[in-house]
Amino acid sequence: MAYKVLVLRGDGIGPEVAGEALQVVRMVARRSAVDVEFKEGVAGGHAIDQFGTPLPDDVLKLAQESDAILLGAVGGPKWDNPNADKRPEQALLGLRKALGLFANVRPVKTLRELIPASPLKPDLLNGVDLVVVRELTGGLYYGKPSEKRQGKDGREAVDTCFYSEQEITRVLRFAFELARNRRRKLTSVDKANVLSTSRLWREIASELAKEYKDVTLDHQLVDSMAMHLVRRPRDFDVIVTENMFGDILTDEASVLAGSMGMLPSASLGEDINSAGFRVGLYEPIHGSAPDIAGRDEANPLAAILSGAMLLEHSLGMRAEAELIERAVESVIHEGYRTRDLGAAPQGKLLGCKAMGRLVRERIEALEPEAG
C-alpha cells in the first residue's frame, strides 16, 4: 500500500519552494521503490479566498488521513489585518493542534561556505550544529482566555500561558531522547525567575534528568539564552523550550546558518503512521516572502531539506534523507547560490527552479549510503 503525503503549497513563495521539495521527495522515493501517493490541499490565505476559511474541513480530514504533510508557507499582506477573524496562520495553528504535533524540531547547522552569508563573526560560526526542540501545541499560543475586550477603563486584552505536567513532560522527554542520540547536552530554556509555567518546566526537567544520567542538562533563562546563542553558538547541542520562546529563539538561530532559506523543520506528535513512524508536518521555517513571490528567486533548500526530514522521520528513510542533505551540501560547496545567500561566483546565481533541478541532478549522481 502506498504511503500518503499531503502537500499544502500555501501562499507567496510557498508554492514555488514546496514544488521543488515535492519533486525531490518524489524522485528519491521512486529511486528507492517506495510507493508514495501525493495529494494536494489548499490552506492559508488562498483557502480563505476560495473557501472562506484558512483550513477547510476536507483539508484537515486529508491531513488526518496522511502519513506526513509537506507545507510551503502561509500568509501575505493581503490577509494581514490582525483584527480579521480569519487569518492564514490559523491553518498552521489548527493543523498543529488537531494532529497533536507537540514537538517542533528545528536543526541549525552552519555550512562552512555559508559563513560569509551571516552578519556574525566567522570564528563564532565554524562548526555550529544544534537543534531547537520547540513545544508547539501549548503555552500562550493556545491558552484560554485569549481575547481583546472592553474593560471598565477602556480596551484590554488577555492571553493565557498554560502548561500541564503532561505537556511539559512529553516534549522534554523527546528532547532528552534526541540529545541522547547526539552530543548528550540538553539546554532547557525558561523564565523561571518570573513565570510559574517556567518554574514547573524547570522542576520537571530536573526530575527527568535523573532518568537520563547520560545527558548533561543545563538551564538557561530565555533572555540570557538570546545572548548566548549568538555569542557562543557552538556550545549548544539540543535546546528545548516552550512555544513562544522557541518561536523567537529559532528566528534568532537562523542567523547562524546564514539565511532562513536554509532551515527546515519537522513538527512531530505521538501518533504513529502506516509506515510505523511518527506522523509529521514538514515545512521550511521561513515565511511566504510575498516581496519575491512569483519571481523564481526563492531559495528552495529549506523546503527540500524539510522533505528530507519527512523521509527520515515519517517514512523511516534515513539513508535517502542523508542523500538529499549531501546533495544540498554539494551544490553549496560548488558555489551555487540563491539570492538570499549573498554573493555568488559568476554564473552561479540560481533561481528557485534551477536550484531545485541542480539538487535533483546531484542526487541522481550520488549513490545512497548503505543504511
Interface contacts to Mg ion, rule CB under 5 A: 247
Does residue 247 have an active-site annotation?
A: yes
145 backbone dihedrals φ, ψ, rounded to 5°: -75, 155
Min dist CB 246 to Mg ion, Å, is 8
Min dist CB 123 to ligand IPM, Å, is 29
Q: Is 310 in the site for ligand IPM (CB under 6 A)?
A: no
Does residue 49 have an active-site annotation?
A: no
Q: Is 132 in the site for ligand IPM (CB under 6 A)?
A: no
Name the residue among 295, 296, 356 with its Cα closest to residue 28: 356
By a kind-dependent CB cut-off of 5 to 8 A, residue 296 interacts, out of Mg ion, ligand IPM, none, with none
> In the chain, at which residue ranges do the beta strands (DSSP E only) sit?
3-10, 36-41, 68-73, 103-109, 129-135, 143-151, 154-160, 185-190, 216-221, 238-241, 264-272, 278-284
Does residue 123 have an active-site annotation?
A: no
Nearer to ligand IPM among residue 167 and residue 320 (C-beta): 167
Crossing angle for the helix pair 318-333 and 301-315, to the nearest 10 degrees = 160
The residue annotated as part of the active site, out of 129, 159, 218, 247, is: 247
Query: How many Å apart are CA 161 and CA 145, to the nearest integer?
Result: 9
Q: With contact defined as beta carbons under 8 Å apart, do 332 and 342 qualify?
A: no
Query: How many Å apart are CA 23 and CA 360, to the nearest integer?
Result: 8
Q: Is 92 in the site for ligand IPM (CB under 6 A)?
A: yes
Which residues have a Cβ under 8 Å from the Cβ of 76 and sit 6 or more positions away?
11, 12, 45, 88, 288, 290, 293
Min dist CB 125 to Mg ion, Å, is 22
By a kind-dependent CB cut-off of 5 to 8 A, residue 89 interacts, out of Mg ion, ligand IPM, none, with ligand IPM
Min dist CB 265 to ligand IPM, Å, is 7
Does residue 191 have an active-site annotation?
A: yes
Q: Is the peptide bond before 145 cis (omega within 30 degrees of 0)?
A: yes
122 backbone dihedrals φ, ψ, rounded to 5°: -55, -40
Does residue 214 have an active-site annotation?
A: no
Min dist CB 247 to ligand IPM, Å, is 4
Q: Is 159 in the site for ligand IPM (CB under 6 A)?
A: no
Min dist CB 299 to ligand IPM, Å, is 17
DSSP letters spanning 262-302: G-EEEEEEEEE-TTSSEEEEEEESS---GGGTTTT-S--HH
The residue annotated as part of the active site, out of 142, 163, 191, 340, is: 191
Q: Is 89 in the site for ligand IPM (CB under 6 A)?
A: yes
Show the site string, 221-260: x = touches ligand IPM by CB under 6 A, - = not. --------------------------x-------------
The residue annotated as part of the active site, out of 3, 141, 212, 282, is: 141
By a kind-dependent CB cut-off of 5 to 8 A, residue 179 interacts, out of ligand IPM, Mg ion, none, with none
By a kind-dependent CB cut-off of 5 to 8 A, residue 292 interacts, out of Mg ion, ligand IPM, none, with none
Catalytic residue annotation: 141, 191, 223, 247, 251
Q: Which residues bind ligand IPM (CB under 6 A)?
A: 89, 92, 247
